[in-house]
Amino acid sequence: MEKYSGHMNFLTWGLAFALYLAWPASVLAHVEQGQAVGFITGLEHPWSGLDHVLAMIAVGIWGAQLGNPALWILPVTFPMVMSLGAMMGLLGIPLPGIEIGIAVSAILLGTMVLGEVKPKLYIAAVMVGFFAIFHGHAHGTELPAGQSGLLYSMGFVIATGVLHGIGITIGLIHRWPAGKLALRGAGAFIAAMGFVFLWQAVA
Amino acid sequence: MKRSLLHNLRILLGAALSAALLQPSEAAAHLVTTGMGPVYDGIGHLLLTPEDLVPALAMSLYAGMRGRAPGRRALFLFPLAWLLGGFAGLSASGTPTFPLPAISFLLLGALIAADLRMPDNIFTVLALAVGIMHGFFNGIALKAGPSGLGLLGIMAALFVLVAIVSAFVLSLKPPWARIAVRVAGSWVAAMGLLMIGWFFRGQG
């Protein structure tokens, strides 16, 4: 009888669980439509252009080469000024030579990494911030219709931060002599790619 | 006999639970419906609405960065201000058109990124202002759904959120951990700037 009772108990709760699974969802008109897609679109966007990816990683690597406090000031500066550039685009304020600006950012940031250039902190921050405007203006304004602007922005900013994080993580090899050389090689590669982007922008 | 009664009671309980689960819930446009009542709907609304959740997290981060005393003030005053703002919102007739939540993103994010020290009294005013403002918008949003009980749920969730997040930030010892919080603040500020831009573009 006890065994039977145990089975019945299991059946009862199993039935309740099955009913729960079959429970009809309430009608939610217009709720959360395009929300997740907006976040994913924003998350994907910075990865869609190699010029943007390389420049972001260069910022992280350069920050790692410069050490504290540039290590975190540059990645803090970039997204804030980048958003300012995106806001300019959203407000319809034109910015000439965006593609050229992005290409030059890869060239100069790559050169800084290649040469392990260590300017004063404010000069590094102004330089990174200046180029961030071009990147923001180019990428921050492309929200597909019907998607959430806020979630797109969240995805966009987080993805940019992750790219900086990747650059900083790569830059951690700076502590070893071979790592220093490898970073300088990466800087040369980024600068060379910057020239390719510049050629594509001008041609 | 006693066992049989217990067995019947279990079946009855299972049937009652099934009936409760099958009960259709009301349609609620633009609101989170958990099906577990207005308090949980309010909690769900807070946790699933980034316009509210991000500033609440940012406030908690900043409170933790400022130390124990401001953290304690935020723990009690921020949810309370949210509740009061919510009740004001419930009785409001219109919706403000300017994206005030974007301003709180920008302000709180910038404060965290800069790790700005401020007198405790000013911090208290900030916590109250941000709480009242977001609560007001919540009140307007929840009017058609869980209303007052939903606001109570939000207040309870905020209390837990502020307690956990600010205590976590307070406990951070390595310098890089504080820097990570500042970087997160810069992201919140960046989102605020973009939100303002989207508003003026008409896609916010």
Domain spans, chain A:
34-202
Q: How far apart are CA B153 and CA B137, in angstroms?
A: 15
* Chain mean position to CA A109: 17
pLDDT(A65) > 60: yes
pLDDT digits (tens, 9 = 90+) for A150-175: 888 888 888 888 888 888 888 888 88
A5-12: long-range contacts, CB 8 A cutoff, minimum separation 24 = A5/B3, A5/B6, A5/B7, A8/B7, A8/B10, A8/B11, A9/B7, A9/B10, A12/B10, A12/B11, A12/B13, A12/B14, A12/B15
Average pLDDT over residues A54-82: 86
Q: Is A21 on the interface with B (CB under 8 A)?
A: no
Burial of A95 by CB count in 10 Å (0-12 exposed, 13-18 middle, 19+ buried)?
middle
Q: Is B76 on the interface with A (CB under 8 A)?
A: no
Q: Is A3 on the interface with B (CB under 8 A)?
A: no
Would you state the pLDDT for residue B33? 67
Give A78 to chain B, closest Cα distance, Å.
9
Residue whose token pair is 């970039």:
A78
Q: How far apart are CA A128 and CA A2, in angstroms?
A: 74
Nearest to B21 among A1, A20, A82 (CB): A20
pLDDT(A6) > 80: no
Q: Do B35 and A26 touch (CB under 8 A)?
A: yes
Q: Do A90 and B200 touch (CB under 8 A)?
A: yes
pLDDT(A25) > 50: no
Would you state the pLDDT for residue B63? 93
Give B80 to chain A, closest Cα distance, Å.
26
Say if the ipTM goes beyond 0.85. no
Would you state the pLDDT for residue B22? 46
Q: Which chain B residue has the Cα nearest residue A159?
A: B187
Give A117 to chain B, closest Cα distance, Å.
23
Q: pTM of the prediction?
A: 0.74
Give B157 to chain A, closest Cα distance, Å.
21
User: In chain A, what residues touch B187 (CB-CB under 8 Å)?
Assistant: 79, 157-158, 161
Interface of A with B in 128-167 (CB under 8 A): 140-141, 143, 149-151, 153-154, 156-158, 161
Would you state the pLDDT for residue B128? 93
Mutation for testing the A interface, residue in B194, B195, B201, B203 having most A CBs under 10 Å = B194
Q: Do B27 and A19 touch (CB under 8 A)?
A: no
DSSP letter for each residue of B110-123: HHHHHT----HHHH
Would you state the pLDDT for residue A135? 87
pLDDT digits (tens, 9 = 90+) for A101-153: 999 999 999 999 998 888 888 898 899 889 889 888 887 666 666 667 788 88
Give A99 to chain B, closest Cα distance, Å.
21
pLDDT digits (tens, 9 = 90+) for B30-59: 556 666 778 888 888 888 888 889 999 999
Would you state the pLDDT for residue A177? 87
pLDDT(A79) > 80: yes
User: In chain B, what residues touch A149 (CB-CB under 8 Å)?
Assistant: 194-195, 198, 201, 203-204
- What are the residue ranges in chain B where pLDDT is below 50? 20-29
